Amino acid sequence: MMPIPPQPTGPAPVVKELGWANRYRSLLTGVLLAVAAWLLHLPSVWYGFVYFDDVRILRDHPELYGQPQLTENLKAIFVTGFPREEPLLVRDVTWAIDSQLFGFGNPFGYHLGNVILHGLVVAAMFAFLLGTTRRYGFALGTTVAYLALAVHTEPVAWIMGRKDILSTLFMLLALCAQTRRLATPSLAAQCSWFATTWLCFVVALLSKISALTFPLVLFLHAACLPYLQGDRSPEAPLADWRRLVREGWLLIPSLIVSGLVYVWYQRTLAQMGIFDRGYQAHGLAHLWNLMMFNPPAFWVYLKQIFLPTHNTVLYTWPLVAAAYPVWQIIASLATLAALLGTGIWLFRFRKDLFFYYGAFLALMIPFLNLIFMGIIVADRYAYFSAFCLLALASAAAGHALRHPQPARRMVVLAACLIFLGLNLFQKLSYQTAWRNAETLWRYHIGLPSPSPTAFGNLAAYCYAAAQTDPAHADVLLGKMAIVVDGGIAEFWSDRKQPPPSATYFLFFLRAILQEVNGDLNAALTSLLTADQIHPRFDSTKLNLARLYRKLGKTDIALPQRMTYAEGARAQFAEYLTLAFRGRPLPPEVQQERDAIQSEYAALASQLGAGAGR
Residue-wise pLDDT tens digits, 304-329? 999 999 999 999 999 999 899 999 99
Mean pLDDT over 543-550 rounds to 97
Q: What is the secondary structure of 504-553 as a DSSP string?
A: HHHHHHHHHHHHHTT-HHHHHHHHHHHHHHS---HHHHHHHHHHHHHHHT
Mean pLDDT over 70-87 rounds to 94
Domain spans of the chain?
20-432, 446-612
The answer to whether residue 403 scores a pLDDT higher than 60 is: yes
Higher-pLDDT residue of 10 and 445 is 445
Residue 289 pLDDT level (bands cut at 50, 70, 90): very high
**ω into 43 cis (within 30 of 0):** no
pLDDT of residue 588: 95
d(CA 480, CA 514): 11
Least confident of 1-10, 18-27, 214-223, 499-508: 1-10
d(CA 80, CA 138): 48
For 223, 500, 501, the CA distances from 495, given in Å and listed in that order, are 60, 10, 14
Cβ-Cβ contacts under 8 Å for 357 (sequence gap 6 or more): 342, 343, 346, 388, 392
The answer to whether residue 61 scores a pLDDT higher than 90 is: yes
Mean pLDDT over 425-451 rounds to 97
Residues 126 and 136 sit within 8 Å (Cβ to Cβ): no
Mean pLDDT over 588-593 rounds to 96
- List, for residues 173-214, the tens digit of each pLDDT value: 999 999 999 999 999 999 999 999 999 999 999 999 999 999
pLDDT of residue 93: 98
The answer to whether residue 611 scores a pLDDT higher than 70 is: no
Mean pLDDT over 442-460 rounds to 96
pLDDT of residue 274: 74
- List, for residues 411-424, the tens digit of each pLDDT value: 999 999 999 999 99
pLDDT of residue 372: 80
Residue 220 pLDDT level (bands cut at 50, 70, 90): very high
pLDDT of residue 606: 87
**ω into 237 cis (within 30 of 0):** no
Residue in 457, 454, 455, 477 with CA at minimum distance from that of residue 465: 477
Residue 1 pLDDT level (bands cut at 50, 70, 90): very low
The answer to whether residue 471 scores a pLDDT higher than 50 is: yes
The answer to whether residue 19 scores a pLDDT higher than 80 is: no
Residue 583 pLDDT level (bands cut at 50, 70, 90): confident
Residues 220 and 365 sit within 8 Å (Cβ to Cβ): no
The answer to whether residue 18 scores a pLDDT higher than 50 is: yes
Buried-exposed string 545-574: b where 16+ CB fall within 10 A, e elsewhere = bbbbbebbeeeeeeeebbbbbebbbbbbeb
Least confident of 373-377, 505-509, 591-595: 373-377
Residue in 150, 196, 373 with CA at minimum distance from that of residue 274: 373
- List, for residues 129-167, the tens digit of each pLDDT value: 999 999 999 999 999 999 999 999 999 999 999 999 999
Mean pLDDT over 49-59 rounds to 95
The answer to whether residue 12 scores a pLDDT higher than 60 is: no
d(CA 564, CA 262): 44
The answer to whether residue 120 scores a pLDDT higher than 60 is: yes
pLDDT of residue 440: 98
Residues 247 and 224 sit within 8 Å (Cβ to Cβ): no
pLDDT of residue 613: 56
> Which stretches of 134-186 are DSSP H helices?
136-148, 153-157, 162-183
Report the sign of the C-alpha dihedral through residues 595, 512, 63, 577, in that order.
positive
Q: What is the secondary structure of 470-482 as a DSSP string?
A: GGGHHHHHHHHHH
Residue 401 pLDDT level (bands cut at 50, 70, 90): very high
If you average pLDDT over every residue of the chain, what do you get? Answer: 93
pLDDT of residue 7: 45
- The one-character DSSP state at 381 is G
> Which stretches of 272-350 are DSSP H helices?
283-306, 326-349
Mean pLDDT over 550-560 rounds to 92
Mean pLDDT over 39-63 rounds to 96
d(CA 540, CA 575): 8
Q: Does domain 446-612 have CATH number 1.25.40.10?
A: yes
Residue 129 C-beta-side C-alpha neighbours within 13 Å: 30
The answer to whether residue 232 scores a pLDDT higher than 90 is: yes
d(CA 139, CA 422): 21
Percent of the chain with pLDDT over 90: 87
The answer to whether residue 2 scores a pLDDT higher than 60 is: no
